[in-house]
Amino acid sequence: FAYTKHESAFYYSLRQAVWMAIGFTALFALSRFDYHKLRPLAPAAAVGALLLMILVLVPHLGVTVNGARRWFDAGPFGTFEPSELGKLAFALFIAHWIDRRGDRINDFQRGFLPYVAMLGGVLVLLMLQKDLGTSVVMVGIFVSAYWAGGGRMRHVVLMLAGLLLAFIALTIIEPYRFARLTSWVNPLADPLGTGFQSTQSIYGLASGGFFGVGIGHSVEKYGWLPEAHTDFIFAIIGEETGLIGTTLVMLGFLFFTWRGYRTSMRAPDTFGVTLAASITTWIAFQALLNMATVTNTLPVTGVPLPFFSYGGTALASTLAAVGVLLSIARKGTTRTNTHSRKGKDAPFDSWRRNRWAPVPSARRSTRASR
């Protein structure tokens, strides 16, 4: 596949290997680093991500691919996508912001409206880049952080309802998005036009059967399925490894999701629980969107499959986020010492027992205190 497109069999693998090395270095370093020390860096990281997302829109600075300008030219490393770093930067910042707000997060004017304004600003930049997929993932990051941070359910519902109306309006306004929606309803109505990608994706999954055609023996990736190495790599996994391979991938993401939310429930403070919840939602929700797109369960959104799709910035930022998640897990508390903790986070503990974690028994708490 790489040789067909770039006359080099190692074109993609070498670039991905470099970003993978960067990502695993960040993962190891951040997993050993106290995540609380990231808080002072959160505002600067968010501002830096915003500036990069603005600069990428400037002609001759940003690289345009398929009508979307969302990358910088990174020379021998391929391209650099600021919005991927923005996911981690904004997850850090909103966790920091929610923790500082405390109970004011439930106030409509002082908590909810400023939060929606922040989300709206990020979404505007992403829509200017014509990046609907990252916009949807970013909504998941912000909404999960708001909910985990103690936001009211009616505010969450109001936020989602407003975003849904905005999405419908943008879909109707933009012809290419409307075409994606109609092709999703019936891709076989135009199998050589708007429904081509979805049709070939389904063909790839179906041809894999139960055991697959074998690693490296995919037919779809040789020019039949567009973006086979990025957004539609799950179809190639299904074609080459069959139902067994796709099931293992889904179980892997399910296990990651369980461990991630478990880490969130055991985090020692509001900053940790909010950050862990948003990172877990980011990766799990993005994987769900990708697999739903490949199977034509949802319209094409253009999001990569975490850890699998080609894309250096996405891989490095995702691995770095996992490192932060591991740091939170290392600092996580057991049920016993969570129940006995007092002070600044006592109101948080009360909220968490009501929303997330089961109440530890008084007998176990008494034994632990002896």
Separation of CA 305 from chain center: 9
Amino acid at 173: I
Structure tokens at 249: 């991938």
Q: What's the whole-number mean pLDDT along residues 308-322?
A: 94
The per-residue pLDDT for 357 is 44
CA distance 312 to 26: 13
pTM of the entire predicted model: 0.86
Whether the predicted pLDDT of 361 surpasses 60: no
Residue 38: name the closest of 271, 244, 345, 216 by CA: 271
Residue 141: name the closest of 287, 278, 321 by CA: 278
Q: Binning pLDDT at 50, 70 and 90, where does residue 92 land? A: very high
The domain segmentation of the chain, as residue ranges, is 13-332
Amino acid at 3: Y
CA distance 157 to 172: 23
Helix axes 82-101, 113-128, angle to 10 degrees: 180
CA distance 132 to 301: 6
Q: Are 315 and 16 in contact (CB under 8 A)?
A: yes
Q: Binning pLDDT at 50, 70 and 90, where does residue 6 land? A: low
Q: Binning pLDDT at 50, 70 and 90, where does residue 338 land? A: very low
pLDDT digits (tens, 9 = 90+) for 167-210: 888 777 777 777 777 778 777 777 777 778 888 999 999 999 99
Whether the predicted pLDDT of 252 surpasses 90: yes
Whether the predicted pLDDT of 28 surpasses 90: yes
As a three-state string, the secondary structure of the chain is: CHHHHHCCCCHHHHHHHHHHHHHHHHHHHHHCCCHHHHHHHHHHHHHHHHHHHHHCCCCCCEEEECCEEEEEECHHHCEECHHHHHHHHHHHHHHHHHHHHHHHHHCHHHHHHHHHHHHHHHHHHHHHCCCHHHHHHHHHHHHHHHHHCCCCHHHHHHHHHHHHHHHHHHHHHCHHHHHHHHHHHCHHHCCCCCCHHHHHHHHHHHHHCCCCCCCCCCCCCCCCCCCCCCCCHHHHHHHHHHHHHHHHHHHHHHHHHHHHHHHHHCCCCHHHHHHHHHHHHHHHHHHHHHHHHHCCCCCCCCCCCCCCCCCHHHHHHHHHHHHHHHHHHHHCCCHHHHHHCCCCCHHHHHHHHHHCCCCCCHHHHHHHHC
Mean pLDDT of the chain: 85
Q: Are 56 and 68 in contact (CB under 8 A)?
A: no
pLDDT digits (tens, 9 = 90+) for 29-53: 999 999 999 999 999 999 999 999 9
**Which is more confidently placed, 235 or 186?**
235
Using alpha carbons, list the distances in angstroms from residue 39 to 143, 179, 227, 298.
20, 43, 37, 36
Q: What's the whole-number mean pLDDT along residues 252-260?
A: 97
Q: What's the whole-number mean pLDDT along residues 136-143?
A: 96
265-269, 333-337, 357-361, range with greatest mean pLDDT = 265-269
Whether the predicted pLDDT of 352 surpasses 60: no
Whether the predicted pLDDT of 80 surpasses 60: yes
Whether the predicted pLDDT of 61 surpasses 80: yes
Whether the predicted pLDDT of 57 surpasses 70: yes
The per-residue pLDDT for 32 is 93
The per-residue pLDDT for 136 is 93
pLDDT digits (tens, 9 = 90+) for 95-130: 999 999 888 888 888 899 999 999 999 999 998 988
80-84, 99-103, 279-283, range with greatest mean pLDDT = 279-283
The per-residue pLDDT for 304 is 94
Burial grade of 141 (CB within 10 A; 0-12, 13-18, 19 or more): buried
